[in-house]
Amino acid sequence: MLKFENVSKRYPDAGDVLLNVSFHLKHGEMAFVTGHSGAGKSTLLKLIAVIERCSRGQIWLDGQNLNQAKDRQIPYLRRKIGLIFQDYKLLQDRTVFDNVALPLVIAGYGHQEISRRVRASLDKVGLLGKEKKYPVALSGGEQQRVGIARAVVNKPPMILADEPTGNLDPELSAEIMLLFEQFQQVGVTVLIASHDIALITKMNRRVLKLDHGQLVAS
Amino acid sequence: MKPVKKTQTRQDARQTKTSGGNFVDKLHAYRALHAHALFSSLGRLVASRFTSIMTITVLAIAISLSSGFYILVANLQQLTGNLETSNQISLFLKDDVSDAKANRLANSIRKKANVQEIKLITKAQALAEFQAYSGFGAAVKALEKNPLPIVIQVLPKNTLEDRQELENLLEKFNQEPEVDFAQMDMQWVKRLQSLMDIARRGSMLLSLLLGVGVLFITGNTIRLELHNRREEVIIAKLVGATNAFIRRPFLYGGFWIGFFSGVTAWFIVTVMMLILMQSVEKLSELYEGAFHLLFLGFTETLAMLFISSLLGVLGSWIVVNHQLQQLKPE
């Protein structure tokens, strides 16, 4: 599903943020990316979502070489990935329904299909009945679940989460992790960047450990 | 566990195909997207009423300036257009020539082979006309004697197209002892026409400049809106929006701004024309009713709305494209 081959990322002012990173994530696998802050976790996720391009090496996503992807193909690549953020990145002036529906609207789905899928997705994260609420009216945990519903509504083969529990207390974090496990169980590949060692240990999954841009454990 | 996963993803793939692949469904969804962009951008314009009104007013003034100049030139052109056909020559007689003498001269001119028609305007007639229409009636009354000369208007035969022949005729008239001077009306028409040409070109240049202004004012307005909706644009990009999808509502926003500016400009021009109409009608009487005020016609109004809408779309297109290249999700 996802393959890194000697990937490096160099920023002109920060030097090598990632150095010779290689790993392979199989279809339906769930893994964590960890490391101290500034180790390159976020950069690694950005490379997968083609928010940044790597300086050296090769990245394959779902059989496609990301280096060769043209700019106009990027939107279609991103539709294969459900992105989840630490700060949720919800549209504050839109209802929960509209937030979750966004990827479907973008992909050009019909009205009925959108309505059906958004409900199904909200049901999965346990927020059915809150479609008409605005994000501000929700708790942090609920907002993150809206973010997750939006990430999976398009049924992407892969979920990328950048510190998804960074703003949540341990109890809520555990709930969110449970959700990720459920998605993994239906065949979605899940990659989560986190520095919450306690949580990662509890999950007992594959861990990609970064240290100063280098992969020290996989 | 594994085979279950596979059928699941395959099912998903099929579902995506039926919902996304059906042409009619896609067309409906596409139309819905456009309709949504059209009305949501209108809604946004209404939501930020104050800013919208300010922008639209500025644009409307720019558009009404250029279309106002256009209609002014068109009206003046109508005036010179009427005069264009006449080769009329005016003979201004010397001050001491009596009406009887003038009449004799007129009769002798009338008999000439190359003269089609003449008209004698006596001092009294000229004064009456001048008092009635010039607005200097009171001033004229204050004068001790009538300063206006007797005029004989000569219209040469239509066959007299040759410029040299006309010049010869003019020369002959100038040699008549009673004539102070003879003048071909054509000459000042020609001068007026070249002045009109300058005015027409000037108004075209002005329209061009104002058009560029409209383009950039719309662009700047859209840039501000894009800036305000930066977060939304970035999120849309992150969940797979194409540039076309992001551009669409802004293009419609530009369209609405341009369109409403065009409509407002039409009102401005029309109201101004209505205000001017009374005085123009007085002027028209001076030209013996040959002149009627031209308003913006149907085609011109349509063209104005089309151009202003187009400028709006174009302005926002330039800006959004430029900004999308710079805007990277972070």
Top mean-pLDDT range of A109-113, A164-168, B11-15, B218-222: B218-222
pLDDT for residue B161: 60
Longest CA span, chain B: 124
Q: Which residues of B touch A155 (CB under 8 A)?
A: 12, 15-16
Chain center to CA of A97: 20
Answer whether A79 sits within 8 Å of B232, measured CB to CB.
Answer: no
The overall average pLDDT reported for chain A is 91
pLDDT tens digits, residue range B270-309? 999 888 888 877 777 776 666 677 888 899 999 999 999 9
**Paired strand residues for A190:** A30, A159
Q: How far is B236 from chain A (nearest CA, A)?
A: 7
pLDDT tens digits, residue range B149-163? 888 888 877 655 666
HSE-CB at B43 with a 13 A cutoff on CA atoms is: 7
pLDDT for residue B124: 83
Kindly identify which residue of chain A lies nearest to residue B19, measuring between CA atoms: A109
Locate the domains of chain B by residue range.
37-82+191-326, 88-160
Rounded to whole angstroms, the Cα distance separating B241 from A104 reads: 10
The CATH architecture to which B88-160 belongs is 2-Layer Sandwich (3.30)
pLDDT for residue A217: 81
pLDDT tens digits, residue range A55-87? 999 999 998 999 998 888 999 999 999 999 999
Rounded to whole angstroms, the Cα distance separating B296 from B169 reads: 42
Amino acid at B299: T
What tokens does A60 get? 């394959």
Contact assessment for residue A96 and residue A122, using Cβ atoms and an 8 Å cutoff: yes
Closest residue to B26, CB basis, from A28, A75, A108: A108
Rounded to whole angstroms, the Cα distance separating A170 from A1 reads: 30
Rounded to whole angstroms, the Cα distance separating B270 from B268 reads: 6
pLDDT for residue B2: 39
Rounded to whole angstroms, the Cα distance separating A47 from A65 reads: 12
∠ CA B46-B50-B54, rounded to 5°: 110
Answer whether B240 sits within 8 Å of A113, measured CB to CB.
Answer: no
Q: Look up the pTM and report it.
A: 0.74
% of residues, chain A, pLDDT over 90: 66
Closest residue to A107, CB basis, from B12, B20, B28: B20
Query: Minimum mean pLDDT among B24-38, B94-108, B127-141, B230-244: which range?
Result: B127-141
Closest residue to B19, CB basis, from A77, A113, A150: A113
Rounded to whole angstroms, the Cα distance separating B25 from B2 reads: 33
DSSP secondary structure string for all residues of B107-164: HHHHTSTTEEEEEEE-HHHHHHHHHHHSS-HHHHHHSSS--PPPEEEEEE-TTTT-HH
DSSP secondary structure string for all residues of B27-95: HHHHHHHHHHHHHHHHHHHHHTHHHHHHHHHHHHHHHHHHHHHHHHHHHHHHHHHHHHT---EEEEEPT
pLDDT for residue B75: 82
What tokens does B148 get? 């206006």
Question: Choosing among B239, B243, B245, B324, which should be mutated to test the A contact, i.e. which has the most A CBs within 10 A?
Answer: B239
Q: What is the dihedral of CA B273, B278, B280, B282, to 10 degrees?
A: 180
End-to-end CA distance of chain A: 16
pLDDT tens digits, residue range B250-274? 999 999 999 999 999 999 999 998 8
Answer whether B330 sits within 8 Å of A91, measured CB to CB.
Answer: no
Provide mean pLDDT across the span A173-194: 92
Kindly identify which residue of chain A lies nearest to residue B230, measuring between CA atoms: A91
Provide mean pLDDT across the span A33-59: 91
Q: Which residues of B touch A108 (CB under 8 A)?
A: 20, 26, 29-30, 33
Per-residue pLDDT at B182 exceeds 80: yes
Q: How far is B216 from chain A (nearest CA, A)?
A: 27
Per-residue pLDDT at A38 exceeds 90: no
% of residues, chain B, pLDDT over 70: 84
Q: What is the ipTM of this complex?
A: 0.90
Q: Coil, helix or strand for A24?
A: strand
Closest residue to B239, CB basis, from A51, A150, A157: A150
Rounded to whole angstroms, the Cα distance separating B279 from B291 reads: 12
End-to-end CA distance of chain B: 37
pLDDT for residue B8: 41
Kindly identify which residue of chain A lies nearest to residue B29, measuring between CA atoms: A110
Kindly identify which residue of chain B lies nearest to residue A116, measuring between CA atoms: B19
Answer whether B9 sits within 8 Å of A187, measured CB to CB.
Answer: yes
Q: Coil, helix or strand for A23?
A: strand
For residue B1, what pLDDT band results from cuts at 50, 70 and 90?
Answer: very low
Q: How far is A187 from chain B (nearest CA, A)?
A: 5
Q: How far is A184 from chain B (nearest CA, A)?
A: 10
Per-residue pLDDT at B246 exceeds 80: yes
HSE-CB at B67 with a 13 A cutoff on CA atoms is: 33
Taking one residue from A and the other from B, the number of pairs with CB-CB distance under 8 angstroms is 77
Kindly identify which residue of chain B lies nearest to residue A111, measuring between CA atoms: B29
Give me the domains of chain A, ranges plus CATH numbers: 1-80+158-218 (3.40.50.300), 92-155 (no CATH)
Rounded to whole angstroms, the Cα distance separating B231 from A89 reads: 8
